[in-house]
Structure 1
């Protein structure tokens, strides 16, 4: 009978520091796992299993929504839908990339860093997709055709490159300067988020002043912002595992909750974008310039190429530095004897 032996799991003192997470004591995979071991580990309970599935399953949900939209909208010839297409593609890409990063991050210390380089790149491209959508569908009425709308996407392009660069660089500081690394990585994603939502913040302030009417789009935008705040809080705080190390190793630690909040927030954001696109279509068609291929799909293509170049640069730098470690440095990164005896 064919039998499959699931990979062995380890405690935090049995793996190199680069693999350890604050407040997580057990459930670590071997730091030199094979690709097959990584795939098999997604079907056993490790401290990464829920991280993998909380982004892999939503990928299929967003693909299903994209497929439904392809049946109802003319993405090929109707330029008004192109910002939505960019956004929908990227909300399918970022959870899938994250799921792959968590799956294969235990192959080696270098593989771990490179997996998360791609994860950060996908997230920064997602922020660019948000900016493209908000720039065309979400601008306040009297900002349409103004300076901010005209420069919104180019600035967002710069933001996504800074985001990827800073977040990738932060991994080089993780062991020696963990606090600085965390601040850089958090700031790298918070800044583009704040910029992307400037039009939305203004619209919500108008509503607080009684200058707008309640709409489905604004309601969903508020839910999205709530879950975005929870996502940031969980990422930065490492709660609840920081309060009870070892209690939430497998289920309930902050990164799992962070994934769930991110996906739920993206769902509400998607519904808000669809509501804005539908309800404002006639007004925007009469008062705003139509989205161009260069400003939507062209921007996505350029952003993808530049982000891949940044990831390639940091990956090459990482591999070069790993190959030039001194013997003492290299030994300090090796797993403990218990982990070697797999």
Structure 2
């Protein structure tokens, strides 16, 4: 891997929308072509490890999914399809994020569009995790109650709200506090609600005599707290500005710990699938994949609408500046 020569710029040499907090150098040249963006995958710049951490995560989860598919019982039993939904979403969201970081320097429109697709991958993972939680991790005290009956529906709506709000923030000033609060809140809502069954299990696992799976959920929440604090505080680069422009910046660490937290949640689901008795899910669709597919189709339509709006917005601004 070679250092990205003429594309390695300082923050003062790139537009403000490309700059990252406390990252002073290592920026690729704005306006890269598609082929130049692909070439940058094998050069050193301040997005290199943001891209590769997701690529490695994608490969690991793709391999895990293939291993899972080799077990005939997982394909024949529809209850196990919930884990397949989770595994599939575990592959999609790092893929979308890797694409976003890889092509972020092509143009402002491409940058915004790619990160909107990134948001699509995140909401897909959130809903895939929710499906698995509903089938395998739901506390016994909640089974058959109002929470279970409306769990997927509320999560479906919250994911739609999340994608709409997060895409809308791409039209707002980047460094404005309101923008950060809205985007953080948009992602926090489906995460917190979707993980409520696991939170309850961590606190009351003895009620179900199923603390083995809850142990993994506890590790998942520890990973989540660490990532939120590190990513939100931009540690370590804000403490030592300029020293972590390429290696060990908070966003790369964030990717690694997110992948680890995802793995811990997945392990807890698999333990619960193999050790906890299944209960009646007669009110759910015949396949857990149907709600996930429906969400992906609707969210894709929303993302395409905002991408089209972004193109129109930038074309209008460019025309106004030309005159």
Does residue 30 of the first structure (1) align with residue 29 of the second (2)?
yes
- Structure 1 gap ranges (5+): 332-342
Aligned to 1:191: 189
1:306 is aligned, of 276, 298, 303, to: 298
Once the two structures are TM-superposed, the CA of residue 7 in structure 1 deviates from its matched residue by 5.5
8 A Cα contact 1:7 1:41, kept in partner: no
TM-score after normalising by structure 2: 0.93
SS in 2 for 1:9: coil
Matches within 5 A, 1:112-191: 112-175=111-174, 178-191=176-189
- Structure 2 gap ranges (5+): none
Q: Distance in 2 between matches of 1:295 and 1:232?
A: 33
Per-residue Cα deviation, 1:254-281 (whole angstroms, up to 9, x for no partner) = 111110110011111111110011111x
Once the two structures are TM-superposed, the CA of residue 323 in structure 1 deviates from its matched residue by 0.6
Per-residue Cα deviation, 1:85-121 (whole angstroms, up to 9, x for no partner) = 1111000110111111111111001111001000011
Once the two structures are TM-superposed, the CA of residue 123 in structure 1 deviates from its matched residue by 0.2
Q: Distance in 2 between matches of 1:168 and 1:245?
A: 30
Once the two structures are TM-superposed, the CA of residue 235 in structure 1 deviates from its matched residue by 2.5
1:250 is aligned, of 246, 252, 255, to: 246
Once the two structures are TM-superposed, the CA of residue 82 in structure 1 deviates from its matched residue by 1.3
Coordinate RMSD, CA, aligned: 2.0
SS in 1 for 2:42: coil
Q: Which structure is higher in RCO with an 8 Å CA cutoff and minimum separation 6?
A: 1
8 A Cα contact 1:135 1:152, kept in partner: yes
Does residue 94 of the first structure (1) align with residue 93 of the second (2)?
yes
8 A Cα contact 1:6 1:37, kept in partner: no
SS in 2 for 1:113: helix
TM-score after normalising by structure 1: 0.88
Call closer, same or farther: CA 1:294–1:112 in 2, change over 3 Å.
farther
8 A Cα contact 1:125 1:304, kept in partner: yes
Per-residue Cα deviation, 1:290-309 (whole angstroms, up to 9, x for no partner) = 68555511111111111111
Call closer, same or farther: CA 1:132–1:330 in 2, change over 3 Å.
farther
Q: Distance in 2 between matches of 1:56 and 1:219?
A: 28
Number of residue pairs matched?
Answer: 320
SS in 1 for 2:281: coil
